[in-house]
Amino acid sequence: MKYLAIVSYDGTRYAGWQIQPNGDSIEEEIEKVLSKILNTPTKIYGSGRTDSGVHALGQTFHFEAKEITDLGKFTYSINSLLPKDIFIKNIKEVDDSFHARYLVKRKEYKYLINVGEYDPFEKDHIYQLLRPLDISLMKEGLKLFIGEHNFQNFTSKEEDESNFVRTIYEASIKEENNIITLDFVGSGFMRYMVRNLVGSLIEVGLHRLSIEELKKMMDTKKRKVCQYKAPANGLYLVEVKY
């Protein structure tokens, strides 16, 4: 049988989602517990990676196992063995043809920025910028990203995809109690893409990058990768849709 799980995690003390030779990964922690409970080596397949320090509210993965009769009890058992910064929210049975990575339709990410006073409680969960941002200018910049675009300049330099085109369906920005929340819903995001988009918008909001310059960065005649990567601690994978 095939099962789809939704997991949330605080990525602070992990080297990222993917199993690494050095450092703990979320994938490894979950595989260890699943293999123990199912009493057989069990591989999990995530919707994609998240980088070191990046969080998830709704990362997804699938795995195969013999029939699990009580999924509620099973989920409870896994959570009781997992580290306290990883929490399986839900597990359900899916069709044999399902694949957590290949069948993704949309992904949603959000990014949090503190533009007020330093908050020692949220140091790992909200980027502590601590300076005001020009939101209306950032809104203008954000509009440039919506739609189908070649985002070759907003992924990592090492990334060498055959196709840099992605679609951003929705993007929004709001401010509440000195916390700015940026939200992105798209067909898929390349490595560092959200952090590069947000990093560039922060430069715009600080009046250090103009809308004209941002437009030039979207120009794809020659590849010139973005230099403004926002830190990992403000980024959350919110939801994966199939």
Interacting residues toward its own copies by CB under 8 A: 8-10, 55, 79, 84-87, 89, 117-121, 123, 125
The catalytic position among 10, 51, 85, 119 is 51
Please say which residue, 8 or 156, places its beta carbon nearer to its own copies.
Answer: 8
- Name the minimum Å distance from CB 89 to its own copies: 7
- Name the minimum Å distance from CB 239 to its own copies: 15
Length of the chain: 242
Token pair, residue 68, equals 């699990």
Q: Is 51 one of the catalytic residues? A: yes
- Name the minimum Å distance from CB 87 to its own copies: 5
For 175, phi then psi, to 5°, come to -125, 135
- Name the minimum Å distance from CB 99 to its own copies: 26
Q: Tell me the H-state helices in the chain.
A: 26-38, 71-81, 135-145, 193-205, 211-218
Please say which residue, 22 or 121, places its beta carbon nearer to its own copies.
Answer: 121
Please say which residue, 214 or 232, places its beta carbon nearer to its own copies.
Answer: 232
3-state DSSP assignment of residue 110: strand
Please say which residue, 39 or 118, places its beta carbon nearer to its own copies.
Answer: 118
**Separation of first and last alpha carbons in the chain:** 19
User: Could you give the angle at the alpha carbon of 126 between the alpha carbons of 218 and 190, nearest 5°?
Assistant: 35
Q: CB count, 10 Å around CB of 17?
A: 26
Yes or no: say if 33 and 116 are a contact pair by the CB < 8 Å rule: no
Known catalytic residues are: 51
